[in-house]
Structure 1
Amino acid sequence: MGVIRLKNIQVYAYHGCLVEEGKIGSDYRVDVEVKADLQPSAKSDSLKDTVDYVHINRIVKEEMAVRSKLLEHVARRILDRILEEISIAEWATVEVSKINPPIGGNVERVSIEMTLKR
């Protein structure tokens, strides 16, 4: 087994319950972990035998571009696609963070983390 991690994928997106968030947008950070059997790729040295992190990055960017009210909703869409499109993925964890959220205080970021298993 092994884990592939993508840390600090930076995206500008328009998520949130406030109307202003849909117009102005905000900076987001996304971290992804995917557990899979990496032994075949370790032996073959072939991209087709592993978790392609370019593919994961593309999924994150595409799903972050679709507006959601809740971070949980966008995280679940990312998880669903990872398990749907990457056949060797056994489970995935996604953390989505909104940087400087508009919550009436000095808060660096708010984050949600979700895990989905096959």
Structure 2
Amino acid sequence: MTLTESSICLNDIRLYAFHGVLEQERRVGGEYSVSIRVHYNIYKAMETDNVADTLNYAQLLKIVKREMAVPSNLLEHVAGRIGKTVFHEFPQAEAIDLTVTKLNPPMGADCAGASVHVHLINDKTLQ
């Protein structure tokens, strides 16, 4: 069997946070959704069935919650912090697909949210 691609995903994590350019957003806060896919080689975990051989999604959730708790003006900044922390704490991570969505943006439109999506590559795994 050949493994060609693998990842771990946390989908639509719902959080309350205090991000935004407007003072009201940072004071009152709002609802957010975060979805993250971390690409890494899961082959060893497939063979061993040992949690020590995988990227622990409970730890990944802690990272997302911790970084979302730090207020920022921009969702881009939040996404960058999450990415840097994931790569720091999980050096085996090869790439990240991350979407941070403000579910009720203050822009006078009826929409499902405003998002930032990034695809980040861990430069350390390119060597």
Fold match by TM threshold 0.5: yes
Structure 1 contact 50–88 (Cα < 8 Å) conserved:
no
Which of these residues, 115, 123, 126, is aligned with residue 111 of structure 1?
A: 115
Count of aligned pairs between the two proteins:
118
SS at match of 2:87: helix
Distance 2:8 2:40 in 1: 8
Q: Which runs of 5+ in 2 are unaligned?
A: 123-127
More displaced, 67-76 or 41-50? 41-50
1:17 Cα deviation (Å)?
A: 0.1
Is 1:34 aligned with 2:47? no
Matched residue, 1:70 = 74
SS at match of 2:46: helix
Is 1:98 aligned with 2:102? yes
1:92 Cα deviation (Å)?
A: 0.8
1:106 Cα deviation (Å)?
A: 1.6
Q: Which runs of 5+ in 1 are unaligned?
A: none
Matched residue, 2:55 = 51
SS at match of 1:32: strand
Superimposed CA distance per residue, residues 66-111 of structure 1 (whole angstroms, 9 cap, x where no aligned partner)? 0000000000100111111112111111100001111122222001
SS at match of 1:89: coil
Q: Which structure 1 residue ranges, 4+ long, deviate > 3 Å from structure 2?
A: none
SS at match of 2:109: coil
Distance 1:99 1:20 in 2: 15
Percent of counterpart pairs with the same letter? 37
Distance 2:98 2:8 in 1: 12
When normalised by structure 1's length, the TM-score is 0.96
RMSD: 0.8
